[in-house]
Structure 1
Amino acid sequence: MLLKDHKDLKAAITAIPPKEKDKLLLRLIAKDKVLTEHLHFKLLEGEADLDDRRTALAEEIDDSISALLKIKKSTSKDALAAFRKLNGRVNHHYKVTKDPNTEVELRLHLLKLVPLDYKESVFSPMAKFNERLKTYFLRTTLALYKKYTRLHEDLQYDLKDEFNAVLIKLEEQQLTRAAREIGLPEEI
């Protein structure tokens, strides 16, 4: 049921006394963790807190990737699991802060660090995870490129070198042809 389809319900909600409306609003907000965090950020935190959140998440990315690289026999399955988890953390950061600039910065940081150079044999059971990792990397890069193009020109200029580093990483992994097929540029 969408509120816009029920104009009488919308009118009834606006007619509720403010005290009762506040109670209902607080009950609704309490049911959604992300909405609660978003409102806390929007109403109680400032620009310094956004920078603290970005720094903490960048450190979490660094720590997770370095822990992955320290595993003696890490596989593409391990890298894919870590990549998905960290990508989810960046998504959560965006849902809470609604800041596209830090989202793009964090995702670029993640893409630059995540390892892709696993050489599992075609006959190995891990070969399928190697392909999945590269496919996930390509899709994440494409989604990021679309967000990157919507940023302000100054920020695009500041992040240009980092994005080109990700595109070079694709080239090093022999993913250039696949990148062109999905619409990624050769260089920004």
Structure 2
Amino acid sequence: MPSLDPELKKAIVRMPAGEKDKLLLRLITKDPLLTERLQFELLEGSATTVERREAIKQFINRTATLKQDSPGWVMMDMRTASGYITRHVKVTKDKYGDVELSLYLLNTFYDHHMDLLRQYTSRSDKAAQYIAKRTEQLLKKLVKLDPDYFIEFESDVNRLLARVHNSCAAYYARHWNVPQSWST
């Protein structure tokens, strides 16, 4: 992002308040993510964080229960749901929710599609890579949280790790040194 010319900065600061407000409002509407973030921070005051998480969990459940016929389609659905999680984190800065929702996403898709994700084949390669990488990223984010939260995630993380190491993602999990178990 290019920086503003110092003279332009000074000129903007000297603008009348009403003119600056109009300009600011016009600029904000051009960025939907910024608009949503301001809505969350200024109007909702983080009171809706849990509701937003629940809405994403419902979306994950609906998406995971779709009948898929290949690991590729499962991965595409996971990526779509992951996009919702990413947007949630950009809007709310909810690091706990990022870990919780990512863990929920992976475990829920394993719950509904283990038959497609069990065995490594050429058709499951991309999904295997995606799952192993997501798991690796999840673990990196998890250790950055306050250790008091670890107990809440321990059983779900270990369930996920067992699934990852006993499914199509096992090769990539070993390659990226994803542990087979995790403890607090």
Q: TM-score category by the smaller chain?
A: 0.7 to 0.9
Q: TM-score if structure 2 supplies the norm length?
A: 0.86
Question: Deviation at 1:119?
Answer: 7.1
What is the distance in 2 between the residues matched to 1:138 and 1:163?
13
Counterpart of 1:13 in structure 2 is 12
Q: 1:110 corresponds to which letter in structure 2?
A: L
Contact 2:85 2:102 in 1 (8 A): yes
User: Pick from 119, 138, 156: which aligns with 1:162?
Assistant: 156
Instruction: Tell me whether 1:186 sits opposite 2:161 in the alignment.
Output: no
Identity of aligned residues (%): 33
Question: Deviation at 1:78?
Answer: 1.8
- Equivalent residue runs for 1:24-173 within 5 Å: 24-68=23-67, 74-114=69-109, 115-118=113-116, 127-173=121-167
Structure 1 pair 12–161 and aligned structure 2 pair: CA distance change class (3 A): farther
What is the distance in 2 between the residues matched to 1:166 and 1:8?
55
Q: Deviations over 1:118-166 (max 9, x none)?
A: 27999xxxx5441001101111112222211211111233212221221
Contact 1:80 1:129 in 2 (8 A): no
Q: Secondary structure at the match of 2:179?
A: coil
Question: Deviation at 1:20?
Answer: 1.3
Unaligned segments of structure 1, at least 5 residues: none
Q: TM-score if structure 1 supplies the norm length?
A: 0.84
What is the distance in 2 between the residues matched to 1:55 and 1:177?
33
Unaligned segments of structure 2, at least 5 residues: none
RMSD: 2.3
